[in-house]
Amino acid sequence: MSKLGAIMASEIAETPKVFKAILDNKDAYKSVKNVLIEQEIKSVLILARGTSDNAAHYLKYLIETQIGLPVGLTSPSSVTIYGSELKYSNTLIVAISQSGQSPDLVKFATAARQANAYVIAMTNDDSSPLATVAHNHFSLLAGPELAVAATKSYNAQLLVSYLLVASWTGKQVNDEQIISEATRLVGTTDLVAKAVSAATRNNEVVILGRGFAYPNAREAALKIQETSKISVQGLSTADYLHGPISALTGETQVFILAPSHMPDSSITEAVVKIRATNSRIFWIGNGGSPEGSDIVLAGSNCDDEITSTIVDAIVLQRFALEFAVASGYDPDAPKGLSKVTLTN
């Protein structure tokens, strides 16, 4: 590989080490094991922006499916722009941010805590303003992340979200498998080569997922947009059928996120309707139903869909990286973007 994207490549490759650091520290989550009961939590709101907002969708789906509590995504501007008075008793706020510095997130978390919410934060900086505001803070333990496009920190957010919910449900975590599968993927040199060769910047790109894979579909779209400077849609397969599929042509490049153990029935209708117009699908992960000229970007073989989704994030990041480099772009420093975005 050329020097383009060297930093992003090295940070993706650090993912197994980051996973090990997080899993070695999983006893830290005992501090919030009983927080839902002790704080009489009735609902959960997740506070995040950008890449972290995609991780927020993963946590949202985890809590809704594993615990059954209602989960929503916050609107920081309700506080920062409109000055709303919050009433958040019996509400858990989970703030997710790589830097923990964005003023709108900090201001919203502060207002939520003053409104009697219980606040948990996960950031990559233990001394960040967002970490300081929270009742409990969990470090992403990702180390410095220099490439503008977040990779290892996003992967860490998925794993920390998983451990947080595992602490509430008492689920056993297969540390060794998560680390070994991540190690295998980062060590596979031709992991995405066939897809990079077949894909083009000249045709529409649509990335679809459902359930636990939906956050990765959103993140894959964001990563390609950030690094290759093209417009990409990241959607739920169900939402795609509710309108956007009308723009599908035989030239559309459709990527479907399909982690191991994903129920095929969750995307069957979408796949059938896509194939009626488009003869080839790009698959990311070891699930789904590839056939014919489809291209498969092989993923992880974890015990379940939830953990397979975490590890498969490596695949979508590698594709974004190598596709950008093949297109002559430097994914380490995309023009017009900075590592920390300070929204108000």
Q: Which residues of the chain have pLDDT under 70?
A: 1-2, 336-342, 344
Same structural domain, 198 and 127:
no
272-286: b (≥16 Cβ within 10 Å) or e? eebbeebebbbbbbb
Same structural domain, 163 and 237:
no
Same structural domain, 15 and 144:
yes
CATH number of the domain at 57, please: 3.40.50.10490
Residue 333 pLDDT: 80
Nearest CA to 171 out of 180, 179, 162 is that of: 162
Same structural domain, 76 and 156:
yes
Distance (Å, rounded) from C-alpha 55 to C-alpha 43? Answer: 18
Residue 193 domain-assigned? yes
Residue 339 pLDDT: 52
The alpha carbons of the chain give a radius of gyration, in whole angstroms, of 19
Distance (Å, rounded) from C-alpha 218 to C-alpha 113? Answer: 29
Same structural domain, 129 and 26:
yes
Residue 1 pLDDT: 43
Residue 173 domain-assigned? yes
Q: Are 117 and 93 in contact (CB under 8 A)?
A: yes
Provide the domain limits for residue 112: 6-178
Residue 337 domain-assigned? no
Residue 335 domain-assigned? no
Residue 339 domain-assigned? no
Same structural domain, 198 and 269:
yes
Residue 336 domain-assigned? no
DSSP 244: G
Give residue-wise pLDDT tens across range 160-191: 999 999 999 999 999 999 999 999 999 999 99
Residue 75 domain-assigned? yes
Number of domains in the chain: 2
Same structural domain, 136 and 65:
yes
Same structural domain, 197 and 165:
no
Same structural domain, 172 and 241:
no
Give residue-wise pLDDT tens across range 259-302: 999 998 999 999 999 999 999 999 999 999 999 999 999 999 99
Same structural domain, 161 and 278:
no
Same structural domain, 284 and 193:
yes
Q: What one-letter code names the amino acid at 104?
A: D
Q: What element of type H or E holds 23?
A: helix 15-24
Residue 118 domain-assigned? yes
Question: Residues 167, 171, 173, 178: what is their CA dihedral angle, to the nearest 10 degrees?
Answer: -100
Instruction: Provide the CA 66 distance to its chain's centre, in angstroms.
Output: 18
Same structural domain, 64 and 126:
yes
Q: What's the whole-model pTM score?
A: 0.96
Q: What element of type H or E holds 194?
A: helix 193-198
Residues near 11 by beta carbon (within 8 Å), at least 6 away in sequence: 145, 146, 147, 151, 152
